[in-house]
Amino acid sequence: MSACIASLPDRALVRVSGPDARTFLNGLLTQEVLSLKPGELRFGALLSPPGRLLFDLFLLGQDDGVLIDVAADRRDALIQRLSLYRLRADVTIQPDDGTVQVLWPATPDTPGTSDARLADLGHRHYGAPLPTSAEAADWHDHRLSLGIPDPARDGGQDTTYPIEADFDLLNGIDFSKGCFIGQETTSRMKRRGAIRNRMLPLDIDGPLPPFGSEVLNGDRRAGQTLSGQGGRLMALLRLDRLDGNLTVEGTPATVRRPDWLDL
């Protein structure tokens, strides 16, 4: 079976280069960057000082630094934020006009690099654009079928903790790397198991509800719906209220637990 190939216009690129590029990013991001090899792809985030999620990021190692894949409507904000932290670091931060593409299903011969979150997602490709055979909507159907959240769509700026968006289960946080912005809160949540909510796939027996619709377990609030399309939906749910009779606007709903979800 040949891979589906789609371009993602909702993603954009930032290039961080210079002698201090890896050291600079390593002190900021949830992912370890110092050992990132050219051509290697990792997943991570830039958090606010209180530990809330600001930017979900893919990090592609390059000979002279790192190519960052970020939500297109947040690229300028990321450049501005990184520039504030630059101080005396010898780095150059600039937008890159390259295209972000995804290919799935993937084999070892598929162009690009394996998605660092989950191999079943396929590959991400940042070179010369390949001829497309699918639309971005097809990719999001594939992502949602695997129960993978998209923080840029599902979580508002500075409102969601990365663990709530499953970064700890999808290789987005290196808890052994040392300091990063928001580390104290993130590490404490993981260490103490103080995780009350997570983004999880939710099956609805009917039309998809509006973003932010209340999920009820009986008469108790169990969470809220996030993004979705077709017959698939993500929701931010309370872990202590997953079992029972869930409804959204009176419609029955069921939590779907993907194979990668270690709960």
Give pLDDT tens digits along the chain (263 positions). Answer: 688 999 999 999 999 999 999 999 999 999 999 999 999 999 999 999 999 999 999 999 999 999 999 999 999 999 999 999 999 999 999 999 999 999 999 999 999 999 999 999 999 999 899 999 999 999 999 999 999 999 999 876 788 999 999 999 999 999 999 899 999 999 999 888 778 999 999 999 889 999 999 999 999 999 999 999 988 899 999 999 999 999 999 999 999 999 898 76
Domains defined along the chain, listed by start: 4-154 (3.30.70.1400), 196-255 (2.40.30)
Contacts of 156 (CB under 8 A, 6+ apart): none
Contact between 222 and 202 under an 8 Å Cβ cutoff? The reply is no
Residue whose entry in the numeric block shows the structure tokens 């530990």:
51
User: Cα separations (Å) of 182 from 31, 70, 158, 177?
Assistant: 12, 19, 11, 13
